[in-house]
Structure 1
Amino acid sequence: MDLLMQCQQKRQSSLPSNLHGPGRGIVMNGTPTAGSYKEVASLYLLSVRIIQAKNIRQSDLVSKPDCYVSLWLPTASFEKKRTKTIWNSREPAWDETFHFRIQNQVKNILELSMHDADLSTPDDHLFTVIFDVAQLKPQHNTRKTFALNPKGEEELEVEFKMTQIFDPPEKIITNGVLVSREISCLEVQLDKQKNAKSVKGKKDLMLMVKGSYENSKSTTSSSGNQFLFHSVKGWEPELTACLQDAGFPLDVSFREDVVDTATHSLTVPLKSLPKEEYMEVAVPIEDTEQLNLKLRAKDCPEPFDVRLGFNLCKEERDFLWQRKRVVAAALKKVLQLDQDLKDHEVPVVAIMATGGGARAMTCLYSHLAGLQKLNLLDCVTYITGASGSTWTMSKLYEDADWSQKDLRGPVNSIKKQVTESKVSSFSWDRLKYYRKELKQIREEGRQTSFSDLWGLLIESMFYKEKNESKLSDQQRAVNRGQNPLPIYLAINVKEDDSSTQDFKEWCEFSPYEVGLLKYGVFVRTEDFGSEFFMGRLMKKIPESRICYLQGLWGNVFSLNLVDTWNLATNSEQFWEQWVKNRVQDIDKESEQLRERSSHLNTHLYTPSGKLSKTLKDILTNRPIHGEQHNFLKGFQLHNDYNQHNQFSTWKDSQLDSSPNQLTPLAEKLCLVDAGYFINASYPPLLRAERNVDIILSFDYTMDTPVQSIEQTFHYCSEQRIPFPKIELSEEERKNPKECYVFMDEKCPAAPTVLHFPLVNDTFRTHKAPGVKRSSSEMAEGDVNVSGFWSPYFLMNFTYSEHEFDRLLKLTEYNIQNNKDLILNAFRTAITQKKGSRT
């Protein structure tokens, strides 16, 4: 699809590309959720016969390789399987067959990894073949010979067979990208009083359902008599009960060798249990004693605690309906219109703010105050922010009517905090307070990280007292459409495997929802940080205070070394040449044939040497980052996910073609400051569903004040997201103007962007629009917002009153001096919207 066609389709509601009929809603706590639908999926038995390998290289100079093959299919099994080891052979032959129960509507990617066994050191990983099972035809034997190097000398020969299983088909729920499969809930009841004699002393009953959300539990770790296990029904899970000495760690107690040799153990396939009925079983203890358990297997209820879909949530749609009335009235007044605007004539105006620490926080206050003085603030529907600008937003939205009040009050309040010394924030008493607060959130079930400590420091530096407010509390500030809707931006990255440039996923936060744009999955804001499995809320953790999110959104310390190198040199050559994984396409099909298919290419991954691996581990490790429970946990990717138009819009890395490495399989989210990729907060405003017409782009970057908008343009061009073309001369990059207007007449769906860089241009000679400075006033126009000696550098959090006031006056002046450009953009947008209905 070319960009023009994409532009024409932007205004249409987005539905999954592979719908076979109208989209049906699922229930999210009683609320219909559009954009998701149900499918019936067949189950198949996949047989994989590992036959032989040829001409395998030697990984050392001492002996021939001792090879085995491991098989990993995470959509069908919780564990890796492996062949026996063939010792001292370059042409090992195994002839071993492995079986997997697969579901045909999920993307099943089989990884075949060959290793060279070693008795004294870790086994050498030789290569991995990544194979899309969707290439296979049911009821056919398919023999594949995988070439393991470009010359084809090394080979792995494998035979596949896929046979349909005539069990009842599985009912799934999907948005076309993610799939939620049927969940089986096993309830285990143990009457501790009745069985007190059996479990007394040093004995402990250990329970495990491999691959389940809970994995394992023990009687000593729970005070109750009931134990629950949630697992994928199609995997045919089993319960293992084992009585052993208390005190063993669960991960040690349930090693295969321990369970297999235990004399007092019991294994029960869940499919053997009568549905919804209790069945009694006994764990043998002694010759004449047994431990009695009651088991019941039931299907998990269908209502979700997440929202699957790419459309806007109901709460945001309700907000837009109310906000449109406010915006229409404001536009009529400021543009002096003779008639009221009709609903379809009201443009959606958004503010986009970048990061920049205390500088960004201060400037956003100033820009908002400037818009208020011009009576333009009520014309705005959205405000998005990243990093330091989110500190302004989160503070303002504590007041439910902030935009209807004089902003001089909040500005004076933040001035007091910015100009005060921050030494007290690092006092011994404050450090003890931070420790106490971090201990409390750990007790609530959250993992703590440096970003939490950083959030407490931000709170101490700019608020001076404990702030109990939460992001969901901001719903009160938008429940009548009285303020623009705030959206905060972060990115999800790999914790220790990639650079930010190599893998990142946009994550947006609003008072209503938190969601990952690429997957179309959202959770209620008050549930963010809780534990989920397959869309169900498994463990509710109290919503965190807003300061911890401020630390996450603006964590300027979560870089890894390769990110630091890329930012410093603006080059990825070092990463590409020395550290990045070597993955090559070994499919023999034509490129044209593959482009028409949702099948993923077969890839060969060849691991780097030990030195490169060590170097990569050092360069990609993020010692200071923020981990959060992954609300995508358990979900699997749809078989056609890579053809879905919404996923395709936001996919931008090589890993997007590697489902086994994407976020649904990750244990945790690793959320960092969005500025590590592009120091801007455009992505939420570029969602087609929001239909944003005008973006007031406030860039608080020093030294490179137009870089972020140029980077956004290049990103949008590559992703085919409607965005105006940005063309600037070298002179404009060095000496940018106060305001640029970018629009694309050939693509009406692209928003008009008014970009305000942080520059000191005519403010040097004018104290107000059209009012020149006298010779005695010229010093007030000398505001240094670039260069090494600027007082507004990123890591400075304390300004003098004079520095604060001058920065405030500069940014407010830049808005007021370009009022006509803003009003003209409003008039043009209204005219275009009127014309679109004629």
Structure 2
Amino acid sequence: MALSQVPGPCLLTIRVLQAHGLPSKDLVTPSDCYVTLWLPTASTHILQTRTVKNSRDPVWNQSFHFQIHSQLKNMVQLEVFDQDLLTKDDPVLSVLFDVGTLRAGESRRESFSLSAQGEGQLDVEFRLRSLSDCAERLVSNGILVARELSCLHVRLEEAGDQKWSKGRVQLAVPGSYEGLQETSVGTGSFHFHYPACWEQELNIHLSGAPQEQLKVPLSTLPSSQLVRFVFPTSQEPLIQVELKKEEGPREPAVRLGCEPCAEEQAFLSRRKQVVARALKQALQLDGDLQEDEVPVIAIMATGGGIRAMTSLYGQLAGLKELGLLDCISYITGASGSTWAMASLYEDPEWSQKDLAGPIELLKTQVTKSKLGALAPTQLQRYRQELAERVRLGHPSCFTNLWALINEALLHDEPHDHKLSDQREALSRGQNPLPIYCALNTKGQSLTTFEFGEWCEFSPYEVGFPKYGAFIPSELFGSEFFMGRLMKQLPESRICFLEGIWSNLYAANLQDSLYWASEPCQFWDRWVHSQATLDKEQVALLKIQEPPTLAGRIAEYFTDLLTRRPLAQATHNFLRGLHFHKNYFEHPHFSAWKATKLDGLPNQLTPAEPCLCLLDVGYLINTSCPPLLRPTRDVDLILSLDYNLHGAFQQLQLLGRFCQEQGIPFPPVSPSVEEELRPAECRLFADPQQPQAPAVLHFPLVNDSFQEHSAPGVRRTPEEKAAGDVDLSPSGSPYHYSKVTYSQEDVDKLLRLTHYNICNSRAQLLEALAGAVRRRRQRRRHQP
């Protein structure tokens, strides 16, 4: 995170000149057109020209002024509308123009065509002038920018002896965090946080009397001084207004940085000591590993409901038995695997203990009847807790109800455990660092395949690696504005996060159609049908033609397909942050190749009031992306895959994703024989791509377990039935929709996953040795 006071304030003047050859709304009546201007880095207002009646060649010749900062990505949107008194105004033209293409002191005239054929045009003049008298302090990571805030304190009192009885008063500062506030005179003070650099004004008006209003330009107020004046209403008593403008919170509460936080780096230093001892013993090394020789080894667990939760327990028990669990620095989870992780990390010493106790508790929960989760007493408890969350300030959404039901399915009683409580389990480096994954998308208009952003949750932080923006985990759900903490809400119980990580109810119809058949078929179709977005191909301006009738019908059906009726909602901690002028060229900004939305900063996540988080399985069933961040420098990933549809399918999709995004990842190319009969594990590595981690993949298969009760121990005829584990895609008792297992089925799955790890001991040791060799080679090549 860097501070900047680079001279960058400029005055942008946009002069809307005229248009030629505008289309008529019908064969008889010419257009009644006006132009709107929107520049969200300078104003919350959408400004508008006058309407020129009955003209296909309207002349406006109107100028608009914006104070901008040249270090920001300033994208102005101009739209031409045909006014209609009876229906919604018809859009004629939409233009996005990058102000960054202008130089200070330059004046440029642009003519925008109304169609690809060049018919009709809009003429606009842009002029940019430097301002030297208003420097602004910016905080930026090269992708996002936090700007200065001002805070306005307002108090209303009666001006005289009479008591106010004329109703309520509405106060508003456009673009402020607080928005519109309604109060009665004499009931207390109010405050507004707003961008310090904007030409804002305080609007005061009486409810029910629009003519009784007052506008106070805030730029005229002296800083840190109390100003009093009387609101000249038409009736007694008058209202005395007290105003005081101060500097808002100076330091952002959102961490802007692409590297792991200081707490994670300190943890890794502690964990490396544990890993070094474990590797020395497991690999029978002659000497101690130096700190820069210790590889970063991670577990990646996929989703899969109860099946994933149960399987992860079995595999962790296998790694514990082999003495390899202490070799792991990270463990990532998605959907069902997060349920196992969240339960284990309630015990700060879980990986240092025998896992028999947690596994017995798991069996109890997995085999119990789940009908009690919907009992009337439980429903009443859900209603009370959800009402309390709304009272505290959390948005209301169906995901919160699912979270409470899910908790009842997995536990006998509500758990008060929180994500930040898991820091105790990392205090001495005694356990791997857990990272939980979710996907942020749009509530409507776009499918998950068209727009998705990885969001990661750790005991230290929650954030978006794409933007390099993170907040302390205890602040997730609180309200932020321009990087500052505005309203801190109590940290949610972890069950509400589990409801996000395994959110089965935020899909739209288009997502469901994608995965109704073999996912790889739709992935292939998606890859070939979507336009790519390369960093050197981002347009400086965008012209959008007016929709035709066919286009409007298509837009209507697209809305039906992409709207998420049960969308999750969490206060957006990126709200109000702006983009750096060079954000798109930043090496850590991961542009989503399937859509050009990443080239349109006005439409990205910082512009949204709420996040829309869902299960990552609606894109790819993996929790791997946090481990692929170059700043984490992971050497080896133990890929624990719980899918029933193909042993390598999701890993291959991840490989395709990484290839499309330019992320180093080894090629996933199993042979035909391996796909037909996969073994317990398979190593994928690429010596020609040293930045890519090696991946030791463990699919959920029942291969040699059918004939062996333990590695090297063949089953007796009486034990044959115990090796029969049904992992068929459709009829399996472990289908993700199953929430209750029989005692026999849960025992079989635990033994199978435990066996598959233990039977792969030689491959595990070889992969660990390879990770140590890789680190040592890198150390030798360092200057």
Q: TM-score range by the shorter chain?
A: over 0.9
Cα contact 1:41–1:171 (8 A) shared by 2: no
CA distance, structure 1, for counterparts of residue 193 and residue 6 of structure 2:
21
1:774, distance to aligned residue in structure 2 (A): 2.5
**Alignment partner of 1:792 is 2:729:** no
**Alignment partner of 1:229 is 2:229:** no
Q: What corresponds to 1:364 in structure 2?
A: 312
**Alignment partner of 1:714 is 2:656:** yes
Q: What corresponds to 1:392 in structure 2?
A: 340
CA distance, structure 2, for counterparts of residue 64 and residue 191 of structure 1:
53
Change (3 A) 1:97 1:560: same
Q: What corresponds to 2:542 in structure 1?
A: 602
1:573, distance to aligned residue in structure 2 (A): 9.8
Cα contact 2:160–2:237 (8 A) shared by 1: no
2:522 to 566, 571, 582: 571
Q: What corresponds to 1:197 in structure 2?
A: 162
Change (3 A) 1:214 1:488: same
Cα contact 1:134–1:599 (8 A) shared by 2: no
Partner SS, residue 168 of structure 2:
strand
Change (3 A) 1:730 1:151: farther
Task: Please say which of residues 82-91 and 721-730 is displaced more in the overlay.
Answer: 82-91
CA distance, structure 2, for counterparts of residue 488 and residue 139 of structure 1:
50
Q: CA RMSD in A?
A: 2.4
Q: What corresponds to 1:624 in structure 2?
A: 566
Cα contact 1:188–1:295 (8 A) shared by 2: yes
Q: What corresponds to 2:203 in structure 1?
A: 240
CA distance, structure 2, for counterparts of residue 735 and residue 59 of structure 1:
65
Q: What corresponds to 1:497 in structure 2?
A: 445
Q: What corresponds to 2:692 in structure 1?
A: 750
Amino acid at match of 1:562: Q
CA distance, structure 1, for counterparts of residue 236 and residue 553 of structure 2:
59
Q: What corresponds to 1:11 in structure 2?
A: none
Query: For residues 247-274 of structure 1, what are the alpha-carbon distances to aligned partners after superposition, in whole Å with 9 as ceiling and x for unaligned?
Result: xxxxxx8xxxx3xx32xx3322112111
2:36 to 59, 70, 93: 70
CA distance, structure 1, for counterparts of residue 334 and residue 455 of structure 2:
11
Amino acid at match of 1:748: P
**Alignment partner of 1:761 is 2:742:** no
Question: What does 1:49-128 align with in structure 2 at a 5 Å threshold?
Answer: 49-60=15-26, 63-128=29-94
1:782, distance to aligned residue in structure 2 (A): 1.5
CA distance, structure 1, for counterparts of residue 718 and residue 180 of structure 2:
77
**Alignment partner of 1:270 is 2:234:** no
Question: What does 1:434-445 align with in structure 2 at a 5 Å threshold?
Answer: 434-445=382-393
Q: What corresponds to 1:808 in structure 2?
A: 750
**Alignment partner of 1:37 is 2:7:** no
1:565, distance to aligned residue in structure 2 (A): 1.4
Q: What corresponds to 2:589 in structure 1?
A: 647
Change (3 A) 1:603 1:575: farther
Partner SS, residue 646 of structure 1:
coil
Q: What corresponds to 1:299 in structure 2?
A: 247
Question: What does 1:69-468 align with in structure 2 at a 5 Å threshold?
Answer: 69-191=35-157, 197-198=162-163, 200-220=164-184, 225-245=188-208, 258=210, 261-262=211-212, 265-286=213-234, 289-468=237-416
2:555 to 591, 613, 632: 613
Cα contact 2:295–2:771 (8 A) shared by 1: yes
What residue ranges of structure 1 are gaps of 5+ in the alignment? 1-34, 246-252, 586-590
1:444, distance to aligned residue in structure 2 (A): 1.2
CA distance, structure 2, for counterparts of residue 545 and residue 235 of structure 1:
39
CA distance, structure 2, for counterparts of residue 69 and residue 472 of structure 1:
50
**Alignment partner of 1:837 is 2:772:** no
Task: Please say which of residues 161-170 and 683-692 is displaced more in the overlay.
Answer: 161-170
CA distance, structure 2, for counterparts of residue 584 and residue 57 of structure 1:
32
Change (3 A) 1:640 1:768: same
Q: What corresponds to 1:668 in structure 2?
A: 610
Cα contact 2:115–2:545 (8 A) shared by 1: no
Cα contact 2:509–2:561 (8 A) shared by 1: yes
Partner SS, residue 647 of structure 1:
coil
Task: Please say which of residues 663-672 and 147-156 is displaced more in the overlay.
Answer: 147-156
Amino acid at match of 1:724: P
CA distance, structure 1, for counterparts of residue 196 and residue 354 of structure 2:
58
Query: For residues 399-432 of structure 1, what are the alpha-carbon distances to aligned partners after superposition, in whole Å with 9 as ceiling and x for unaligned?
Result: 1101111111111101111111111111122111
Q: What corresponds to 1:9 in structure 2?
A: none
Query: For residues 27-51 of structure 1, what are the alpha-carbon distances to aligned partners after superposition, in whole Å with 9 as ceiling and x for unaligned?
Result: xxxxxxxx33323242222121222
1:678 to 616, 620, 638: 620
Task: Please say which of residues 178-187 and 509-518 is displaced more in the overlay.
Answer: 178-187
Partner SS, residue 184 of structure 1:
strand
Partner SS, residue 652 of structure 2:
helix
Cα contact 1:242–1:283 (8 A) shared by 2: no
- TM-score normalized with structure 2 length: 0.95
CA distance, structure 2, for counterparts of residue 153 and residue 554 of structure 1:
51
Partner SS, residue 5 of structure 2:
strand
Aligned-pair identity (%): 46
Cα contact 2:92–2:114 (8 A) shared by 1: no
Cα contact 1:354–1:385 (8 A) shared by 2: yes
**Alignment partner of 1:774 is 2:716:** yes
Cα contact 2:532–2:593 (8 A) shared by 1: no
CA distance, structure 1, for counterparts of residue 528 and residue 277 of structure 2:
57
1:58, distance to aligned residue in structure 2 (A): 4.1
Partner SS, residue 135 of structure 2:
strand
Task: Please say which of residues 35-44 and 765-774 is displaced more in the overlay.
Answer: 35-44
Cα contact 1:127–1:607 (8 A) shared by 2: no
1:777, distance to aligned residue in structure 2 (A): 2.2
CA distance, structure 1, for counterparts of residue 594 and residue 323 of structure 2:
40
1:572, distance to aligned residue in structure 2 (A): 7.3
Change (3 A) 1:143 1:784: same
CA distance, structure 2, for counterparts of residue 393 and residue 618 of structure 1:
36
1:287, distance to aligned residue in structure 2 (A): 6.7
Cα contact 2:478–2:487 (8 A) shared by 1: yes
Cα contact 1:584–1:604 (8 A) shared by 2: no
1:680, distance to aligned residue in structure 2 (A): 0.2
